[in-house]
Structure 1
């Protein structure tokens, strides 16, 4: 572990492992507070590759967005010859994917509270021109208060309208959650995150994705068709307001799809019990 990091933090047990690195629990030598440190092995990324770009962009974007109560905050970063170390919020209570797997479906009030926090995080990103591009339950962590923390900004990009940057390109994301305009090869903007968040909400309420296939190709075909359905066996207990929001988020016509700010103002989201927590 890097010498500078070890001077400031006691690095403890491993709590997670990803494609390029390991996450450890750590404590601040100055305050005793608990954090996570994500240590990325730079040898696993090559020079000018997309992976190398992801390695560099994530700490920059997190520093740009912090602090926010529903985004994984970056407290410090250290770099040595072999690793990049990012000191982040410690989230001991698993992620949204694990929560859904364990529960099957979430009660509507719980789904509403969690989703309102996720929508707040996405709206904050968009206000800074940041498009996450990989919103999915695995990237929605739950902290010690079981509050949402949007994580993994390795695929994110920043739009700077003043510099003429108003659209993105490139197929980025995860099959079930990717927006149709991405698959069509068109330029796209921040509303791809709204589509992905709509898929997340659908899965919270139904326990399965709205657009399904046995292979990635079949999933992409289903996404492109965009035939949104609400099977009665699952959705008979879901409120009309929740279904209305889903229709407005999972809308193929980007011009008619809600923005993240409009999602926050939708009556169903505005009914969340912890709206005081969203700012």
Structure 2
């Protein structure tokens, strides 16, 4: 049973619908915190294959640097994906807060991302939407690992229409996707190259307020290592990026090749502090939208801990409503991962396996 001790809801644009709601909850038996993705069934009408795809992908993967799917429930109006909670905040926020940040730090981050994406590729899965916003820290610990989230646009190689649909986020998408050519897992390697570029200078390799001009830059793979921002960055780092951001996907580094590059596997990543320059550019080029600013995962989790310890003086508030305005969000039954995976044909299974699992929501905390 999961109880929403803090019913903090935020919008999560995930490729399945225009948004889903994510609820912070506590598993009563273990007091473990989880994130529950609440997806309205009405919003899925005609898009059932999308959620089936995400569940199939999440069901297949288990990696230390990938947010895991733990359970699946359903009610008459919603699907609920119980996800591992990552509470360390977004990648850019942590870089800004660090005070000291080097090429070596960036190299270690990229190594973790490469390890996770190599795992996905070995499983026949292509993420297709790798970007900094989908990279979250597991905890607030200084040595916290980075986690890849959001598999709404991921695809399993070999399934229908895979590797031909244009998707992804402008600025991170590979040239072959924009050219509407068949593509492969190499699109993820391009995106990792873009992320590495940003981690070392704080701004994107491609930018134009006009989408057509932006896409033209990407199609031509036109980018520069501008002075003065790249003056203190090693040639090895630049070489690493060039190999990942090859216009020709066949010439582009694979994850295996990237992991063997000296900037990742060797000692060529410099340890000079580049925090001032990089953080200033991140603040300038990646300002959060207002709704993002309203959510701070770390503060929410701290508040949750206080409630667990009984130190909060907040009174009760209404529970998370169902479509009829009820006081509980009852779940008809849990779906086993084996049942929900491999296409998730049984996502809407019957109610003959009724469980007592419900959500009870108490103080709402928006931070």
Distance 1:130 1:245, change over 3 A: same
Size of the alignment, in residue pairs? 258
Query: Which of 217, 235, 240 matches 2:235?
Result: 240
SS at match of 1:220: helix
SS at match of 2:247: coil
Pairwise CA distance, 1:54: 2.5
**Cα deviation code 1:88-137 (max 9, x no counterpart):** 12111222244456679952122111111111111111000100100001
**Cα deviation code 1:213-262 (max 9, x no counterpart):** 11222211110111231112111111111111100000001111001121
Q: Distance in 1 between matches of 2:205 and 2:220?
A: 11
Q: Distance in 2 between matches of 1:101 and 1:219?
A: 26
2:121 alignment counterpart: 126
**Cα deviation code 1:42-64 (max 9, x no counterpart):** 222332x4xx4332221221110
Kindly indicate whether the alpha-carbon contact (under 8 Å) linking 2:156 and 2:162 is maintained by their aligned counterparts in 1.
no
SS at match of 2:80: strand
Do residues 61 (structure 1) and 54 (structure 2) align? Answer: no
Q: Distance in 1 between matches of 2:21 and 2:114?
A: 28
Do residues 154 (structure 1) and 147 (structure 2) align? Answer: no
Kindly indicate whether the alpha-carbon contact (under 8 Å) linking 2:174 and 2:218 is maintained by their aligned counterparts in 1.
yes
Kindly indicate whether the alpha-carbon contact (under 8 Å) linking 1:141 and 1:150 is maintained by their aligned counterparts in 2.
yes
2:29 alignment counterpart: 30
Distance 1:129 1:98, change over 3 A: same
1:4 alignment counterpart: none
Structure having greater relative contact order (Cα 8 Å, sep ≥ 6):
2
Query: Which of 126, 137, 141 matches 1:142?
Result: 137
Do residues 261 (structure 1) and 260 (structure 2) align? Answer: no
SS at match of 1:27: strand
Distance 1:101 1:22, change over 3 A: farther
Any runs of at least 4 consecutive aligned residues in structure 1 with deviations exceeding 6 A, and if so which? 101-105
Do residues 9 (structure 1) and 2 (structure 2) align? Answer: yes
| Structure 2: gaps of 5 or more residues | 13-17, 268-367
Q: Distance in 1 between matches of 2:241 and 2:122?
A: 22
Q: Distance in 1 between matches of 2:145 and 2:255?
A: 19
Task: Output the TM-score relative to the length of structure 1.
Answer: 0.86
Q: Distance in 1 between matches of 2:58 and 2:266?
A: 29
Pairwise CA distance, 1:9: 1.2
Q: Distance in 1 between matches of 2:205 and 2:78?
A: 39
Pairwise CA distance, 1:271: 4.1
| Structure 1: gaps of 5 or more residues | 1-7, 273-279
1:175 alignment counterpart: 170
SS at match of 2:8: strand
Q: Distance in 1 between matches of 2:99 and 2:133?
A: 15
Task: Output the TM-score relative to the length of structure 2.
Answer: 0.66
Pairwise CA distance, 1:207: 0.8
Kindly indicate whether the alpha-carbon contact (under 8 Å) linking 2:91 and 2:136 is maintained by their aligned counterparts in 1.
yes
SS at match of 1:178: coil
Query: Which of 183, 194, 197 matches 2:192?
Result: 197
**Cα deviation code 1:166-185 (max 9, x no counterpart):** 96101100110000000111
Do residues 250 (structure 1) and 241 (structure 2) align? Answer: no
